[in-house]
Amino acid sequence: MSFELKTDFDQITNRREKIESEINNFKNKVEARFSEIDAKRINEALEFMLKIHLPQKDRVDGKPFASHPLAVAEKVMAMSDDPDLIIAALDHDSVEDQSDRIFVERINRKNIGSNLHFDISEATKEKYKTIFTAWSFKEIGELFGPKVKYYVENMTNHDFNSLADNLNLNGEDKENFVNKLYAEHVEDIMNDPKLFTLKLADLSTNINLRSLDPEGEKYKTLKRKYKSVIEAIIEKLQTIPTDHLIYEKKGEITKELEQVYQEQYSK
């Protein structure tokens, strides 16, 4: 079988070396905290995440993208002992960003169409995005179970930009439309305690814009995207019940969000 994606293996090795200490620290925490069976599942999800995300373009702060899901999983582990939630944290961006790679992994793992050769280009990825996405969720579910699949599906952002393009929206109108749909997506997530925990961990690693130029367009775009979402989350935190998964950490989480908001979003 030879479904292929262009891959720079030297670059992958270099990126892994940059975050090797974070990877090892995470593994050590997992080994110390979970049963042998659960630790094996989490570490398998970790290696899957690295295989999918290490080929991905670095984040705007220059770090390998894989550092983000690793940081999110660390934050989730600080709030929950649920191995499925930690696995979902590791793989929460995999389908949204790298569905073509997951598709290739699945096709090759199952040896489907063994006489075919198919080099997946960016144009091919865009053309067959719906298929790649559906099969990627299928692969996540088969590898890690239905709960993980549920969490990843609900954490995956919809392609609001393509919808806006089809509606012939552009500029400020497009941005406002996309941001409002994203905010509603987050609002839905907040109704599920475990998804809310996962989204909090994700957002807390994304909303800090200190590594960006305050005068740059990227900074301004992200500030407009996250401002109302942070406000809604802070408000939601005030009303969570005492049996909520993160109730005991509510004050700590709120304080962290409020500090970032005051420093970077209130002006």
Per-residue pLDDT of the chain (267 residues; tens, 9 = 90+): 456 777 889 999 999 999 999 999 999 999 999 999 999 999 999 999 999 999 999 998 889 999 999 999 999 999 999 999 999 999 999 999 999 999 988 988 888 866 666 677 888 888 899 999 999 999 999 999 999 999 999 999 999 999 999 999 999 999 999 999 999 999 999 999 999 999 999 999 999 998 888 899 999 999 999 999 999 999 999 999 999 999 999 999 999 999 999 999 988
Instruction: List, as own/partner pairs, every contact residues 118-127 make where C-beta atoms lie below 8 angstroms and the sequence separation is at least 24, other chains included.
Output: 118/2, 118/3, 118/4, 119/4, 119/5, 119/6, 120/3, 120/4, 120/5, 124/100, 125/99, 125/100
The predicted structure's pLDDT at residue 120: 78
CA distance 223 to 221: 5
Q: pTM for the complete prediction?
A: 0.93
Highest CATH level, class, for 1-155: mainly alpha
The predicted structure's pLDDT at residue 116: 61
CB 144, CB 40: distance < 8 Å: no
The predicted structure's pLDDT at residue 143: 97
